[in-house]
Chain A
């Protein structure tokens, strides 16, 4: 039986080829197989021959929205900084989008990174992508030479072994907790829309950490990031991280040191996650890109939970609703505000105390 991924691959090739040969789009952003099993790489098809190379499978873990602004720029006629806008509409780009990627595209529209009318979105309802690291862990050092995908299992084979792995068990954490697998914006739907997924508790991973004591949480945080080599692959994989100069590269002030000293690494992770607050769609590209298996998604997931609980908002669900941190409500919760009412009453002692310490 043909797997649903290979059916989707056929449809993608047909649509991309049609769009490219009719001139509707100047380029089409998708994936081609990578050089190792269970990898794909982003690919820009510019002709229908290129389109025949596109694939869809359970290993499409990178978020295509990340590459979209550059591909759009690449199809524009070259112009210098002072040159006038070219006449007429600019060429368009076709792109694949699952639920989370399409929400990142919505964020990009809201942040003026892309224009809706310049993209042709082929929507795909995601069945969840597989975490290559989970598969490798199950193989325990044996090398997978070939991985064949079926709808509910992966057939992994290598030198002198064949193994069938139930697919859902190795699906990425973010996909397992996903509730919006369908694209929120699209032009052409590939396959059926699945509808919102029932998920008993999408924040279970976060709640588990929240239930720890403060010192245990700190220990968890330190442990989680301890192997970070500060390669910034997580940042580079993220469609939200497009600052011309990232804070990690600022030198005056130097927000974060260049070393892998634990404090610097901690600050990097806190601020990177924080910069994605109210914008992150939990696409998991950051985590999939990490060579060290760090689960930095948990930090953004915590922010996602807070934004939903405090402001009732989810990133990228609707281009018409402003991003949660670009707006406010007069009744936003503020129970954390310090009022001084818990302050010990002023006594004569206070004056004595301030007199006794001389600060340099």
Chain B
């Protein structure tokens, strides 16, 4: 049977002011990175709620990436600092109930870090690829 090679699907919540611009820069600078990311632009990493992360996993994402400005660089001063606490707890809780920690990722990428964006995209994709398709929180609609 001929099957299309499985590619992980990763939902990436990127903050408008840094990481989204970083992704843009990766593109215009022609850095290659895997086509696994589905990018959702959010105003700030502080906007990303646990509900959104779980919704992505429920809808069939094999992994989730949340990326914002580096600490100290948030456009709204401290959105990413609150996000850091919240996302750390979410990651730990998901791990506690048996979700592989590699499926939920957080990174800081500035608007000038196109290359870093490509590297993070690759690292996250490869980690998720090693795990295989998500099974636990995926809902069949």
Residues of chain B within 8 A (CB-CB) of A271 are 50-51, 54
Q: Specify which of A267, A307, A328, A340 is in contact with B122 (CB 8 Å cutoff).
A: A340
Query: Closest approach, in angstroms, between the C-beta of B106 and any C-beta of chain A?
Result: 6
**Do A337 and B107 form a contact, CB below 8 Å, given A214-B100, A343-B119, A357-B4?**
yes
Q: Does B132 contact A (CB under 8 A)?
A: no
Residues of chain B within 8 A (CB-CB) of A216 are 98
**Do A255 and B91 form a contact, CB below 8 Å, given A344-B122, A354-B35?**
no
Residues of chain B within 8 A (CB-CB) of A336 are 88, 91, 101, 106
Q: Does A121 contact B (CB under 8 A)?
A: no
Q: Specify which of A267, A273, A333, A344 is in contact with B58 (CB 8 Å cutoff).
A: A267
Determine if A342 and B35 form an interchain contact, defined as CB atoms under 8 angstroms apart. Answer: no
Interface 9-residue window, one of A169-177, A218-226, A286-294: A218-226
Determine if A332 and B84 form an interchain contact, defined as CB atoms under 8 angstroms apart. Answer: yes
Given contacts A216-B98, A299-B93, 4 further A-B contacts (CB under 8 A): A221-B98, A277-B89, A307-B89, A310-B85
Instruction: Give residues in A with beta carbon < 8 Å to B.
Output: 206, 209-210, 214-221, 247, 253, 255, 257, 261, 263-264, 266-267, 270-271, 273-275, 277-278, 299, 302-303, 306-307, 310-311, 324-326, 328, 330, 332-334, 336-344, 346, 350-351, 353-354, 356-357, 359
* Residue of A with least CB distance to B30: A351
Q: Specify which of A255, A299, A342 is in contact with B55 (CB 8 Å cutoff).
A: A255
Number of A-B contacts (CB under 8 A): 155
**Do A274 and B123 form a contact, CB below 8 Å, given A216-B98, A337-B108?**
no
Q: Does B47 contact A (CB under 8 A)?
A: no
Residues of chain B within 8 A (CB-CB) of A277 are 86, 89, 93
List 10 interface pairs A-B (beta carbons < 8 Å), by A numbering: A221-B98, A267-B54, A310-B88, A330-B71, A332-B84, A334-B88, A336-B106, A343-B122, A344-B122, A354-B35
A330 and B81 alpha carbons, distance in the complex (Å): 7
Residues of chain B within 8 A (CB-CB) of A221 are 97-98
Determine if B96 and A253 form an interchain contact, defined as CB atoms under 8 angstroms apart. Answer: no
Residues of chain B within 8 A (CB-CB) of A350 are 32-34, 122
Determine if A218 and B34 form an interchain contact, defined as CB atoms under 8 angstroms apart. Answer: no
A264 and B58 alpha carbons, distance in the complex (Å): 9
Determine if B92 and A338 form an interchain contact, defined as CB atoms under 8 angstroms apart. Answer: no
Determine if B94 and A333 form an interchain contact, defined as CB atoms under 8 angstroms apart. Answer: no
Q: Specify which of B32, B93, B98, B124 is in contact with A214 (CB 8 Å cutoff).
A: B98
Q: Does B82 contact A (CB under 8 A)?
A: yes
